[in-house]
A and B are shown apart, each in its own frame.
Chain A
Amino acid sequence: MNNKLVYPFDSIEILRKSSSFKKELLKNKNLIEIKIFVASGATTDEIIKILEIFLLNVGIRPIFLQGNYGLFFEDLAFENQELVDFKPDIIYVHSSFKNLINIPNIINGSDEVNDKLNNEFERLIGIWSYIRQTYNCSIIQNNFELPPTRPLGNLENSHHSGLVNFINKLNLLISDYANKNKNFYINDINYLSSFHGINQWFSLQDWHRSKHSVTLKFVPYLAYNISNIISSLYGKSKKALVLDLDNTLWGGVIGDDGISGIKIGHGSPVSEAFLEFQKYIKDLRDRGVLLSIVSKNEMISALEGINHSEGILKESDFVSIKANWSNKADNIEEIAKELNIFNDALVFVDDNPVERELVKQFLPEVAVLKITDDISDYISILDKSGFFETSSVSNDDLKRNESFKANKERIKFKKSAKNYNEYLLSLEMKAIIKEYQGHHLDRISQLVNKTNQFNLTNRRYSSSNISSFIESEDYIVMFGNLNDKFAEYGVISVIVCKVLPLGIEIDTWVMSCRVFKRGMEFAMFDELVRIASKLGKIEINGEHIPSAKNSIVSDLYSSLGFKLVEDAQSDSDKTLYKMSISNYLSKNNTIEVINE
């Protein structure tokens, strides 16, 4: 990770050094490739250049195809063989208010303006529908920024012919479309431009000079915003916050100042600022971000502070609390292990620059929040960092903290069981495992795209790819849903198989880290064998493509009874396996599978 690219960054420096940053980032070998078409409503060269380095910084290597200048509509709404051949994973439409062609005029009646609004929206829908039918990829669409000038003054906001009014309405239509359509994501430049100031975001001089609809200085903010959306689509968003306590979650030092001395709650500007920060973190927790604490404190004082009557966060909001005097880097690694996630899914927040530096040095994969020494800046920096960007909020996200806590209960419970099998049985696990039947498409694609550990081949598919597998006779898409006496996990495993003349081939198999070592893989596989034999197939093929993160599955196929296929192409990383299903003995004996 290049620290210069971590928010808050110096956009001028990024513009100046983008080429050398790129060279440095390309040294990282563990990159996933995605193809992005950038459709243009204005100059896009720098956007592409800067977006590339932000994506490289999170482990994504983009391959770009740049649309013709200003021709986003022509490039996207009509036959375009070049784009068909390119096979984009993502189409980004960089349009702006300068591209509106149905602008209201003061002489128009309100019906005429309404027609113009509909025409403008239909034009956009035309693009999106054509993309959907033709390219089967995700769409990232700019909404519209407000115009920098208002001939009607404040009346622009309410008058039917006001452009401000028009754009506000158009943006609502786009939001509504995004809400109803999959694989469609808004790049909210309406928000970004107002956050940075419309007057800075757009400069008429830049427009005249070089047809930039975003001033060069703000291109890095635009590109960063897009890279966060893409990160979230490819499972690169962070999952957990690791928080310090003293002077981070409250003002003062609990060990010295005591419970009555720390600053949290209503009382002083500083204590209110800490309260506000706790409230923001609580909001993150409620949408599925895991919270943990690493603090140099005695556990007893740490808990006393966390349970302060005026604080918003409570002990039960945290999935792990480390209050001790050992090295913070060690504590953080332990938390990652407990939560079964990688260091690169963690964000560390600490007011102490020495601790931040230590974590940066020892755990370079952990994102360290670049905070200032003013508590009132913390929220904005954490918020704008985009670490926890999400493309959707699933029910599983809302329940995530609960299920991690259930995991801890389970660990306690495990200690009382005699052996592991008995322990698994005592969990009273129940699973639903079946072929896809019209539910959970979001969750299925989320799992396929975001799972790094239990993932045999690391292939990434968009929800539209998965929809097409489901509709195709040549594929089987199967999912598993698990619960036990402590928690409901929802959909936690997905298998995608190609149907071959004699057998089936497992193209993709993923499982959530929350249910490792529970026997779920055996239950899934039993069911897969059943489906294959029902189709009259006699064998199952599997492949394993190792990655930096999936060592947990390196022996999976052997443990299921597959035989190694001697690989002809010894230069490739993949290992191929095969199994005849004629004498298959079912392997699951710990999970009750209920398939009606």
Chain B
Amino acid sequence: MSNVEIVDTIRDIVIDIFDIDDPDSIELTIDSKIEDYPQWDSLAHINIITQIEAIYSIRFSLEEIEEFEYISVIVQFIASKIQH
């Protein structure tokens, strides 16, 4: 799975959880920073993580989650976990 596909998956999750009507209105790339999204609060965060864990059948550690500041970090963790 390519990083682009993973970013798209995260983007789709975010669109659903933020309940965004027009998918084109949200810009989310591998360089995006989580704090740039006002709706991405601590509660949305847990939901997004739960969704990612369910889709890829993976589990993040508490320490990994603390590092989630950029989409790129999340993508990296996902990519390394699904490789194993």
Contacts and interface: CB of A to CB of B under 8 A. Distances in A.
Interface of A: 12, 15-17, 19-20, 23, 43, 45-46, 205-206, 208-210, 212, 216-217
A17 B47 contact: no
A209 B18 CA distance: 21
11 contacts: A15-B50, A16-B16, A19-B16, A20-B16, A20-B19, A46-B43, A46-B47, A205-B61, A209-B62, A210-B46, A216-B47
A292 B43 CA distance: 46
B49 to A, nearest CB: 9
Nearest to B17: A16
Given A19-B16, A208-B62, 19 more contacts: A12-B54, A15-B50, A16-B13, A16-B16, A16-B47, A17-B16, A19-B17, A19-B18, A20-B16, A20-B19, A23-B19, A46-B47, A209-B46, A209-B65, A210-B43, A212-B46, A216-B46, A216-B50, A217-B50
Contacts, number: 39
A74 to B, nearest CB: 23
Interface string B54-77: 100000011001000000000000
A99 B43 CA distance: 21
Contacts of A12: 50-51, 54
Interface of B: 13, 16-19, 42-43, 46-47, 50-51, 54, 61-62, 65
A217 B43 CA distance: 13
Nearest to A15: B47
B26 to A, nearest CB: 14
Contacts of A208: 62
Secondary structure at chain B's binding surface: helix, strand, loop or mixed? helix
Secondary structure at chain A's binding surface: helix, strand, loop or mixed? helix
| Residue of A16, A46, A210 most packed against chain B (CB within 10 A) | A16
A217 B61 CA distance: 17
Contacts of A23: 19
Contacts of A217: 50, 54
| Residue of B13, B19, B42, B46 most packed against chain A (CB within 10 A) | B46
Contacts of B13: 16
A45 B46 CA distance: 12
A427 B17 CA distance: 61
Contacts of A206: 46
Contacts of A212: 46
A100 B65 CA distance: 28
B44 to A, nearest CB: 10
Nearest to B59: A205
A12 B54 CA distance: 7
Contacts of B65: 209
Contact of A210 (B17, B42, B54): B42
A208 B19 CA distance: 27
A224 B50 CA distance: 19
Contacts of B16: 16-17, 19-20
Contacts of A20: 16, 19
B16 to A, nearest CB: 5
A580 B60 CA distance: 75
B43 A16 contact: no
B11 to A, nearest CB: 13
Contacts of A15: 47, 50-51
B19 A19 contact: yes
| Residue of A15, A19, A46 most packed against chain B (CB within 10 A) | A15
